[in-house]
Amino acid sequence: MIPVLGYESRRVAVLGLGRSGLAACAALLAGGAEVLAWDESHEARTKAEAAGHTLTDLARVDWPSVTALIVSPGIPHLYPAPNKIIAAALVAGVPVDNDIGLFFRSFATARSMAFDQPPKVVAVTGSNGKSTTTALIHHILQEAGRPVQMAGNIGKGVLSIDPPNEGEVVVLELSSYQTELARALTPDIAVFTNLSPDHLDRHGGMGGYFAAKRRLFAEGGPDRAVIGVDEVEGQYLAGQLAQAPEDARVIRISSGSRLAGPGWNVFARKGFLSEYRQGRQIASIDLRTFKGLPGGHNHQNACAAYAVARTLGLAPRLIEDALESFTGLPHRSQLVGEAGGVRFINDSKATNAESAAQALQAFERIRWIAGGLGKEGGITTLAPHLGHVVKAYLIGHSARDFALQLGETPHEICETMERAVARTMAEAQPGEVVLLAPAAASFDQYPDFEKRGEAFMAAVQAGLNDAG
């Protein structure tokens, strides 16, 4: 745990007692603050009490006596409307922060100690690929024997990590909910993977969403920025950060485009990752046989992780070996079974059309399981990516809506995961891939995408056992 200093003997309110909220309570208490903990969920309050925290109903608190309010990322603080407790704090002039802001302020204090090699923070944000990129950076550093911790949206809560050690790297995955509200954002290296519409209700539209991501690069000014430039927003961000075209503090990355120019570029084309500096090729890696990194979207993740590792001083050959040994993350292009020449891939994390499009481009002949609680626009934008789909098997609340948007693509409404998997097993041919890439939220049938992915894996395993 990293104690949060600066609030000694002061009252600090914490709203939201999930993983990050409980960690914030503990870290504030360790730093000497008086914590007023609350959650509007009875279940969460019960868990907090069991963990030893005293509860205070923040709907009845005397706000002038409170120094700060720490808010969990899932609670709206601005759009579509602030939570009523946050609104009361704002009216009273109480500063609102989150665990990420507390972390950066506390980490700066912790590393002000005398280190020969000061610890560093790498922060990764973007619409898609954040988790895989974060895990990949962590894996590369582990394989290189470097001390490293992983936290944020993946791994531990940021305040639950151990105090930094000599030469250690902390790798954080940060969502737009986290970057938008944090009062301190000072990573040494910041990564922007890509941008596509998501969470627009929470950010007041696409401009607000991009602005939330950009704060990671504006608040403290990272020493190095790794920017995906396959969308105009990334191109704009890279241009805003660079002092000149040859500015090596900005590393541009791409999946599919050859990047030219005098700067530092890392890109993947036709399955090969290339690093160029000042127009000269430094390294090349063949990604095509790396089982944990299938498809162009994962090649972009590899480019981002490679760029970070190079910034941290690792050699290309060492990075290549680590990329090859990476097995991937659960529910993200995860190979869960293979039989009779048919592979079963779990990409339950593909909760929107953009991430599903990436999955659909990663394989040649696909039996596609899709559906759930559809998002605005459904799957209309996937029309250009349906050429590899042999047949779609539709589940959940949006199954019939999705069916109307598939055009000439063969499809079947299956309703449930179990039936969809059974039908794919009955019809799939050698050389095909059964792909779960729902392009929808899970909340109609499952509490989260993880549980949906587990249901897919269980159905596949049951089918393979029966066939065996």
Indicate whether 52 and 87 sit together in one domain.
yes
Q: Residue 81: pLDDT above 70?
A: yes
For residue 209, give the nearest of 300, 100, 97, 126 by alpha carbon.
126
Q: Residue 331: pLDDT above 70?
A: yes
For residue 241, give the nearest of 225, 228, 260, 257 by alpha carbon.
225
Residue 172's pLDDT band (boundaries 50, 70, 90)? very high
**How many domains would you assign to the chain?**
3
Indicate whether 19 and 111 sit together in one domain.
no
In a domain, 371, yes or no: yes
As beta bridge partners, residue 441 has: 373
Residue 201's pLDDT band (boundaries 50, 70, 90)? confident
- 191 and 136 in contact (C-beta within 8 Å)? no
Look at phi and psi of residue 344 and say left if phi exceeds 0, alpha if psi is from -120 to 50, else beta: beta
The Cα–Cα gap between 148 and 276 comes to 27
* pLDDT-above-70 percentage for the chain: 99
In a domain, 450, yes or no: yes
pLDDT of residue 196: 83
Q: Is 196 helix (H, G, I), strand (E, B) or coil?
A: coil
393 Cβ contact list (under 8 Å, min separation 6): 367, 368, 369, 370, 411, 412, 414, 420, 423, 424
- The CB-side HSE value for 277 (13 A sphere, CA atoms) comes to 10
- The CATH number given to whatever domain includes residue 56 is 3.40.50.720
In a domain, 1, yes or no: no
Using CA atoms, how far residue 155 sits from 150, 159, 207, 291, in Å, is 6, 11, 29, 23
User: Which carries the bigger pLDDT value, residue 227 or residue 355?
Assistant: 227
Indicate whether 129 and 41 sit together in one domain.
no
Indicate whether 274 and 387 sit together in one domain.
no
Indicate whether 76 and 139 sit together in one domain.
no
Q: In the listed set 292, 325, 358, which residue is the last one of a domain according to the structure? A: 325
Say whether the peptide bond before residue 80 is cis (omega within 30 degrees of 0): yes
pLDDT of residue 330: 87
The Cα–Cα gap between 317 and 350 comes to 31
- Checking DSSP bridges between strand 433-436 and strand 411-415, what pairing results, if any? unpaired
What is the average per-residue pLDDT within 185-207?
90
pLDDT of residue 250: 96
CA-atom Rg of the chain in angstroms: 23
pLDDT of residue 219: 66
Residue 37's pLDDT band (boundaries 50, 70, 90)? very high
**Structural tokens at position 417:** 């995961």
What is the average per-residue pLDDT within 178-205?
91
What is the average per-residue pLDDT within 211-228?
90
- The CATH number given to whatever domain includes residue 207 is 3.40.1190.10
DSSP 210-248: HHHHHHHHHSS--SEEEEE-SSHHHHHHHHHH-SSTT-T
- The CATH number given to whatever domain includes residue 395 is 3.90.190.20
Neighbours of 54 (CB within 10 A): 12
SS (H, E, C) 81-112: CCCHHHHHHHHCCCCEECHHHHHHHHHHHHCC
Indicate whether 295 and 341 sit together in one domain.
no
In a domain, 176, yes or no: yes
Indicate whether 113 and 208 sit together in one domain.
yes
What is the average per-residue pLDDT within 431-449?
95
For residue 127, give the nearest of 252, 230, 18 by alpha carbon.
230
What is the average per-residue pLDDT within 13-23?
94
Q: Residue 98: pLDDT above 90?
A: yes
Q: Residue 113: pLDDT above 80?
A: no
In a domain, 444, yes or no: yes
pLDDT of residue 153: 85
Q: In the listed set 325, 354, 382, which residue is the last one of a domain according to the structure? A: 325
Q: Residue 155: pLDDT above 80?
A: no
In a domain, 2, yes or no: no
Indicate whether 351 and 400 sit together in one domain.
yes
For residue 437, give the nearest of 339, 387, 363 by alpha carbon.
363
Task: Note down the domain range covering 24.
Answer: 11-97
Indicate whether 104 and 230 sit together in one domain.
yes
What is the average per-residue pLDDT within 432-438?
97
- Written as one letter, the residue type at 131 is S
In a domain, 4, yes or no: no
pLDDT of residue 237: 96
pLDDT of residue 74: 86
| Torsion of the alpha carbons at 438, 442, 448 and 449, rounded to the nearest 10 | 0
Indicate whether 46 and 185 sit together in one domain.
no
Residue 116's pLDDT band (boundaries 50, 70, 90)? confident
User: How confident is the model over 281-305, as pLDDT tens digits?
Assistant: 999 999 998 988 988 889 999 999 9
pLDDT of residue 328: 82
Neighbours of 155 (CB within 10 A): 18
- 174 and 126 in contact (C-beta within 8 Å)? no
Verdict on whether the full-model pTM lies above 0.75 = yes
User: Which carries the bigger pLDDT value, residue 253 or residue 153?
Assistant: 253
Lowest mean pLDDT, pick from 211-220, 404-413, 448-457: 211-220
Indicate whether 306 and 377 sit together in one domain.
no
pLDDT of residue 156: 84
pLDDT of residue 222: 92
Indicate whether 403 and 426 sit together in one domain.
yes
Q: Residue 435: pLDDT above 90?
A: yes
Q: In the listed set 325, 351, 378, which residue is the last one of a domain according to the structure? A: 325
What is the average per-residue pLDDT within 115-134?
91
